[in-house]
Structure 1
């Protein structure tokens, strides 16, 4: 995977809960893929898009990482905690943008390249409704940076009130110049209990692309939040047990697989 031009990703997210009650949910979602800093970020030209200020669509670095004005120091700290042995170059982020100032990102992905443009690490940052964020960082061997990536790690962060922190996450990420597919499964006691899939088409992040999906963009955040809350209501009505969330802010602890 090499860095891509700033892109708008239009697609769909599906959740399937397999146990103890089978349950499924799907909703449309718009995401953006762009650099976290540097000339490629400032080169985006559209009156409908802004960086760090209000607009129809905007990117704010403080919506990710530690919640600070710059993302690169946080990325560097995550990679240092994993003993990364490469000089960090271009870093791109895949996330839902702010739309008219509103945003919620269940999962943010950062693609970390070295100075030659080769993908060397991927960071998944998971967020919950209680203001918490937790990052899972994966280093790639020099010969494993193709268009299909797989990772696994133990779960260590409260996301859904219907799942505790037991289990293992399995990630699969497929991306080329035209499309992206992200699959995340939660495994417990040798069985998959939850599966989430995001499928997207990759389009240019420009005025024409933003104008092509005005209604979808307008309700991007409300669809994400509304779908999650509606799913929680339906699961509660089905009698699923709820767990006490871990209140607290951003989990920045180093971790080992």
Structure 2
């Protein structure tokens, strides 16, 4: 697989239940092998300020204090899981030093470039983070048709309770990324998708993305809060944020 890709993606969120809501917007992700020494375009930096950058401390552990790839490797090793041969991080990059990742994904591959495990790293706007360990019960390869389940235990939206279940689907190809997360609970739920083509990250693609979306993740946060205002105006029930789970990862 290519070590450093740019995914010009679209994300869709559709809320189900008595108070419905849906939105779709464009978003930039990068897919990177943090263990590889790859040639990078001049407008992208690792652990340094740039027009587009990615900091190890933004991922793998507590927000702003992450351990990056070392954390992901420790998770797989402690659980005796496959996929330790190559671990790719799919995440929104920093734009002019700022980032907010509602969800990032550690894609854990075997020696045949086959997806075996995914760590879905979820952050909320209250400064908390929790990760869901996604794999099949028999630890066989994850294909686009497979459904992987996890129990929801982390507060994401103040307009959704902490109960119910997630179902994940991962369609990871050399030319395309497609991820679906469906949250189901009694009386409601939502579906969220992330879909987009893969292309090598270049100065041209970085500039193109910046010109289309110059506010970067500031725009993402603004859109999240705008959707929250719309739900509040529709009288969706608001729930206060509880403490995060004691463990930073669950199945």
The correspondence for 1:22, drawn from 4, 9, 20, is 20
Report what 1:73 is aligned to: 70
CA distance in 1 between partners of 2:141 and 2:51 (Å): 38
| Corresponding residue number in structure 1 for 2:158 | 161
Matches within 5 A, 1:9-158: 9-39=7-37, 43-66=38-61, 67-68=64-65, 70-84=67-81, 86=82, 88-115=84-111, 117-140=113-136, 141=138, 143-158=140-155
Cα deviation for residue 217 of structure 1 reads 4.4
Long gaps (5+) in structure 2? none
Separation in 1, partners of 2:51, 2:5 = 16
1:194 pairs with 2:220: no
SS of 1:158's equivalent in the other structure is coil
Q: Distance in 1 between matches of 2:155 and 2:99?
A: 20
Q: Which moved more, 1:214-223 or 1:176-185?
A: 214-223
The equivalent of 1:230 in structure 2 is 226
Question: 1:213 aligns to what?
Answer: 209
> Which residue of structure 2 aligns with residue 4 of structure 1?
2
CA distance in 2, matches of 1:83, 1:142: 10
Q: What is the aligned residue count?
A: 248
What 5-or-longer segments of structure 1 have no aligned partner?
none
* Alignment check: 8 A CA contact 1:12 1:26 kept: yes
1:171 to 143, 168, 172: 168
Relative to structure 1, the CA distance from residue 106 to residue 87 in structure 2 (aligned partners, 3 Å threshold; closer, same or farther) is closer
- Structure 1 residue 23: deviation in Å? 0.8
Cα root mean square deviation, aligned: 2.2
TM-score with structure 2 setting the length = 0.89
Cα deviations by residue, 1:220-253 (Å, 9 ceiling, x for unpaired): 21221111000000000000111110245x8544
